[in-house]
Structure 1
């Protein structure tokens, strides 16, 4: 009896300790405080973050939410992000989406040269007949050869207009506005080689606003008997994964029931596998494309030549990698950006932030693989044919046969027109091997591959 009494007494003492003084209570932070937000952030990261097993063991959370979130990220995580609604500094503008242009600067032994590398169709610059390859002397009166280009670019974005002066002395005034690129860049003639039925298609991003235009172009290509396609994704930073599946079904010999993607996450998350048709089913509200209908009206190509660079990212890389189990994908250009992960957007509830502005975290939650479980391209997808687009001058407009990437693609496809072109006297002048890219104004920030856990 004495032993039993002591035993029960010890249990009672332990219970009381756990419920009261012997237990160090978890801090109870006021709603809307940094502590409340950081506690919520930690809980979400433990549940969803791909590297949840590597989260710091320290529970110290006396930081701002942004600093605390950053402290949780592993070294190899380049993409997880945090932002707060109405914080202007969490959103960025570029010359491309503000003035409709981009430029790059190449350094040569003879000095630097700055060239327009991108003109958005329909923008003021396009209306004024500016062209990719035009040589720029100054922006807002500051010569580019001697300027601090990142600072100059940021200052330019604060002005209501931009004065662009070319080396011939002509000046163009471009008003600031929000400029949205067309998904499918327009061309008067998509056939680069009518005899061999080689077509060209430039996709600036993956967005369903361009779905009907893409189907129209594909229909025209099909009517013309196109046998080979050069798909230009050199400046495509991604977008909708559903649109990537839509594009695959419209262009390639794949079935809606073929496996498009394998998503692999941490121990808390179910592994996801989706077919092309299932991924297309994630299309936004207002669209109802059928995988079988898109495929039936598509090109059904068994080979696609893709132009890719370090600006090719996210869903664009996913399209390249995840078509490989089914068709021949010839990547010409440079290594891609290397975004092989999917994120989700988690928003702080009212019980955490009260009347304060919401916090949104975008942790990386899945690694992306194709049907053959091939992935792991965080350092970029490497091309089969390495070509640098600024390796020849001048730069030429997208779709021009003299463009360095397009010329190589046509050569690979055996275009007789390209062989004739190579004998012409007005070929681009090759830059010295020492030429290097010094600056490119638009970051072409990789768009996230989003997984919605509510669906």
Structure 2
């Protein structure tokens, strides 16, 4: 989703949308007419809050036509909000600043993502496989790396019957222990018990960059883990180095990318393919009040706070102007990451490898009461828009399917980011060169008969922050 922060003064009067953040509405003041509510004006505090929620949703909500005609305003606020949601809505949320319908991802609290896998020898037992670890996070400092394995949490072996409870522990924010193991010649060897506390350090999302070369053709590789605008300098630097190396192909690894800034997504797209400042980046389709909004690259860039790449000419100077782009995805590829995949397609061939993305084809903004003194503490974040590219292609709520499905767990243990032994990278290089172009040494990998059971990174993707438009 896309997040904007909209200051809503009263339930049924004038709304002032701040021009620095309200690019979706393209106005400095949007006037909202009084809405006839299907219930008498409430006099109790709960009823007044729910009336404010109903009024806001009826005006902004993408599926406002499917809202119940006679909602029960006596329900607790969170329950009342849920009662208004369309059955296809997976992402709208509400918070009062104390409790929230959203849950924090494991990665945001401990700095690692994981998947559960089964082994045919014991199909009821599950092994946790670490997919990615943020450098210098709690998990990193305890020694966890991509490919690390664990079989128990808080001294409880993980099984199919208790995995939901184990997942709750790993999302709790509380200190827990995990029993780590290594697999050697099909044997499990204990490696020790680690204790992890929630203390996440923000990650530079430019995790890895590489160059692959063969027969005079240079391919750039970028493992990019979030569209975090504060690191746009790192992104521009990485792309500049790839361009200076003469890359004519590029692999963009978004397999665990939960989205983020729309302006950063536009910056990366402009550095990958041949577009103009006036080229369409995305189309936002709202309800009858929001209408249809078309945004150019330049229009999106004007919303950026970080000056790096805010001028289109800065991006053009670093652009690879590719005719095709290889993008690696999984079910953990979400929101702005999906928007990048879609926004590039009108201007270049996208060869998507891996798994189907999550399917967050929508945008949202936060609605809060900014009266002085503030009378309502609840904050709404409903779905406001559906997203489409310059060709009008959208409706990917079930995810964007890859050109070729590849299971990253088919090589076990997992390989470091960007390794030619990683099956997704390997397929991209095979397509580009007709062979695996780079030979790496001291990278051990074996093929083990494991079967993916559940991917926590994909579960975290459901909880991931929406695409953010800065204030």
Tell me the distance in 1 between the aligned counterparts of 2:173 and 2:91.
Answer: 26
The alpha carbon displacement at 1:91 in A equals 5.2
Which 5+ residue runs of structure 1 have no aligned equivalent?
1-23
Question: Residues 226-282 of structure 1: CA distance to partner in whole angstroms, max 9, x if unpaired?
Answer: 111110111111111111101111222222211111111111223100111111111
Of residues 374-383 and 392-401 in structure 1, the stretch that sits farther from structure 2 once superposed is 392-401
Question: Residues 7-58 of structure 1: CA distance to partner in whole angstroms, max 9, x if unpaired?
Answer: xxxxxxxxxxxxxxxxx99644347x11111111121122111122222111
Query: What secondary structure is seen at the aligned counterpart in 1 of 2:217?
Result: coil
**Contact 1:345–1:450 under 8 Å retained in 2:** no
Q: Does 1:325 align with 2:341?
A: no
Tell me the distance in 2 between the aligned counterparts of 1:43 and 1:223.
Answer: 54
1:9 aligned residue: none
Of residues 375-384 and 166-175 in structure 1, the stretch that sits farther from structure 2 once superposed is 166-175
Structure 1 residues 384 and 299, CA gap change in structure 2 (3 angstroms): same
Output the TM-score relative to the length of structure 1.
0.84
The alpha carbon displacement at 1:104 in A equals 1.4
**Contact 1:311–1:336 under 8 Å retained in 2:** yes
Q: Does 1:391 align with 2:407?
A: no
Of residues 366-375 and 152-161 in structure 1, the stretch that sits farther from structure 2 once superposed is 152-161
Of residues 408-417 and 89-98 in structure 1, the stretch that sits farther from structure 2 once superposed is 89-98
Structure 1 residues 378 and 326, CA gap change in structure 2 (3 angstroms): same
Q: Does 1:371 align with 2:390?
A: yes
Output the TM-score relative to the length of structure 2.
0.81
The alpha carbon displacement at 1:303 in A equals 1.4
Structure 1 residues 192 and 143, CA gap change in structure 2 (3 angstroms): farther
Greater fraction of residues in helix: 1
Q: Does 1:177 align with 2:188?
A: no
Tell me the distance in 2 between the aligned counterparts of 1:197 and 1:153.
Answer: 42
Aligned-residue CA RMSD in angstroms? Answer: 2.9
Q: Does 1:417 align with 2:441?
A: no
Of residues 294-303 and 314-323 in structure 1, the stretch that sits farther from structure 2 once superposed is 294-303
2:264 aligned residue: 243
1:192 aligned residue: 212
Query: What secondary structure is seen at the aligned counterpart in 1 of 2:436?
Result: helix
1:29 aligned residue: 42
Correspondence for 1:382 among 401, 405, 410: 401
**Contact 2:357–2:399 under 8 Å retained in 1:** yes
Correspondence for 1:138 among 152, 158, 166: 152
2:110 aligned residue: 99
Of residues 271-280 and 108-117 in structure 1, the stretch that sits farther from structure 2 once superposed is 108-117
Tell me the distance in 2 between the aligned counterparts of 1:63 and 1:447.
Answer: 27
**Contact 1:198–1:228 under 8 Å retained in 2:** yes
**Contact 1:196–1:415 under 8 Å retained in 2:** no
**Contact 1:236–1:311 under 8 Å retained in 2:** yes
Tell me the distance in 1 between the aligned counterparts of 2:374 and 2:284.
Answer: 36
Structure 1 residues 113 and 152, CA gap change in structure 2 (3 angstroms): closer
Tell me the distance in 1 between the aligned counterparts of 2:415 and 2:62.
Answer: 42
1:70 aligned residue: 82
Query: What secondary structure is seen at the aligned counterpart in 2 of 1:368?
Result: strand
Tell me the distance in 1 between the aligned counterparts of 2:206 and 2:138.
Answer: 18
Give the number of the structure whose alpha-carbon radius of gyration is greater.
1
Structure 1 residues 25 and 42, CA gap change in structure 2 (3 angstroms): closer
Tell me the distance in 1 between the aligned counterparts of 2:153 and 2:381.
Answer: 36
Of residues 154-163 and 44-53 in structure 1, the stretch that sits farther from structure 2 once superposed is 154-163
Of residues 74-83 and 151-160 in structure 1, the stretch that sits farther from structure 2 once superposed is 151-160
The alpha carbon displacement at 1:127 in A equals 4.5
Correspondence for 2:465 among 442, 447, 455: 447
Q: Does 1:165 align with 2:165?
A: no
Correspondence for 1:154 among 168, 171, 188: 168
Correspondence for 1:121 among 114, 120, 135: 135
The alpha carbon displacement at 1:163 in A equals 4.4
